[in-house]
Chain A
Amino acid sequence: MSTEPVTDDERKQNRYHFDRHTPEYREQFTEVAAEMLDKCPVAWSDTYDGHWVAAGHSEVFELARSADYLSNDHDPANERRGYQGISIPSPKTPFRGGFLEMDPPEQRHYRQLLNPYLSPAAVARWEPLVDEIVRASLNEKIETGLIDFVDDLANIVPAVLTLGMLGIPLEHWDIYVEPIHASVYTPPNSPDMPRLQASRLAMRDDMMGQLAAIRADPRPGLIDALATAEINGTVPPDFELLGVISLLIGGGFDTTTALTSHALEWLSEHPGQRERLSAERDTLLNPATEEFLRYFTPAPGDGRTISADCELAGQQFKEGERVWLSWAMSNRDPSVFPNPNEVDLARSGNRHHSFGLGIHRCIGSNVARMVFKRMVTAVLDRMPDYVCDPAGAEHYQTVGIIQGMKHLPATFTPGPRIGDGLEETIARMQVMVDEQRLADPVTVRKGAADIK
């Protein structure tokens, strides 16, 4: 691609001070997005050693789908070009974040290996199990009339399911859920950091133990696929596999939690819309799910590195420059979404970017949608009059990584338990997962879980 020679000042004519890691950014998101979309859909920001920010829908679309010029590579040991992966600023960790911080062909090998565990057909097999975990989680609170939708539901179900798919014992969910959730919202200088570090180490120990155990005595699941993988002709080292497992866990947990809590909060604030969604769920649940994904964008963006001088989306870029692709801002582009700052449960033509675009499309998107829908409909059925307590609702102070919630307490008219509680249900589900080899890939096992 040829580019006219221009000075850096000319290239960086569109400038915007963009810092998504501040509380102000969360508070003023609507205004920041509207201003960038209107004046500078691609702009240079001086923050974090300087980087580009793409906000416009068509600009993000073009950039995200240009894998020949945008690299996801994270190369902390400087074995290739020293690129910094998808985080801006770089987290300074010596680890790659799995295949999301790789380029093809390695990235493609991992995707092809893991897709048969995460495709729509593969995920549908888990639906009966998810319904059981949801039912049991609600049982724990249904008689009290008081629930925290984050702690008591939306943290639990995605975690239990993700571990099941990996091949990790379901009852280990509480080893994983706290460090993953708290890592996203705890600032580095927090007094809570030592406790969080300890829980992270416990999680890492368990993860390494599971990989070793599955290698010695195979049981089905994503980890089994990784333990026996050959990627691009070589056997990947364990630290790379741990990066992949961490990516699957990090992607599987807090994102769906964030989507579910925000949607439940919005539905509490709009009881008429909640009744409509419940009554018309056969036709409305799918578009409403896409609309909550668009509006709340749980994973608000991804970083990339320009891998060759190029001109894309009307902007000249130089090799090595960093770009932030803002799914969240592009999801508010009025040229694609009429009334972008309103939730329209029946919105049509909703080609949002919340799962990313191009070859790195969220590999767990089918999991996220299924688990979200099962949790929300169960709440609509069993707690139809719930009211969230605005004083107790706690949003993440900053939304640079995940737009999530710490707590979402709600009250509702108490109801009866249905069946057993969470601990017993998890134990029963473990037997089912093992006996029915539910975590096998869809190429091996086609049918849905058979709940006894």
Chain B
Amino acid sequence: MKVQVDPERCQGHTLCSMIAPALFTLNDEDGHSTAVNGEVPADLEAKATEAIRSCPEQAISVIP
């Protein structure tokens, strides 16, 4: 599983990094999120799914 944040949709609500700080980094200046590169570790897949479900802007998706 890999995840990505659409920078056009993200508005800096920060729920993703609250739920899975190891998977999402917030920009210092505006709090907008980017996903870490590479595979989501198996033990964090549930957290990644919860972050996707919780994003108010629906900005996070699984990379096919």
Residues of A within 8 A of B19 (CB): 286
Distance, CA A277 to CA B50, complexed state (A): 20
Q: Does A351 contact B56, Cβ atoms closer than 8 Å?
A: yes
Number of interface residues of A (CB under 8 A): 28
- Which residue in chain B gives the minimum CB-CB distance to A362? B13
Question: Does chain B have a CB within 8 A of A361?
Answer: yes
Q: Across the two chains, which residue of chain A brings its CB closest to B26?
A: A120
**With A290-B15, A357-B56, A357-B57 in contact, do A120 and B50 touch (Cβ < 8 Å)?**
no
Question: CA of A119 to CA of B30 in the docked complex: distance in angstroms?
Answer: 5
A96-121 contact mask (Cβ, 8 Å, vs B): 1 or 0: 00000000000000011001100111
Flag B14-26 by CB within 8 Å of A: 1 or 0 each. 1101110000001
Pair B31/A349 contact, Cβ less than 8 Å:
no
B57 x A119 contact (CB < 8 A): no
* B43 on the A face (CB < 8 A): no
Closest B residue by C-beta to A363: B12
Say yes or no: B29 contacts A366, CB within 8 Å.
no
Query: Cβ of A359 < 8 Å from any Cβ of B?
Result: yes
Tell me if B27 is interfacial: C-beta within 8 Å of chain A: yes
* Smallest beta-carbon distance B47→chain A, Å: 11
Contact A65 to B31, CB < 8 A, known contacts A121-B26, A357-B11 = no
Q: A286-B18, A349-B53, A351-B53 are in contact. Are A119 and B29 (CB under 8 A)?
A: yes
A-B contact list, 13 entries, CB within 8 Å: A65-B57, A111-B30, A115-B29, A116-B30, A119-B26, A286-B19, A290-B15, A290-B54, A351-B53, A358-B11, A361-B12, A365-B12, A442-B29
B residues with a Cβ closer than 8 A to A are 11-15, 17-19, 26-31, 50, 53-58
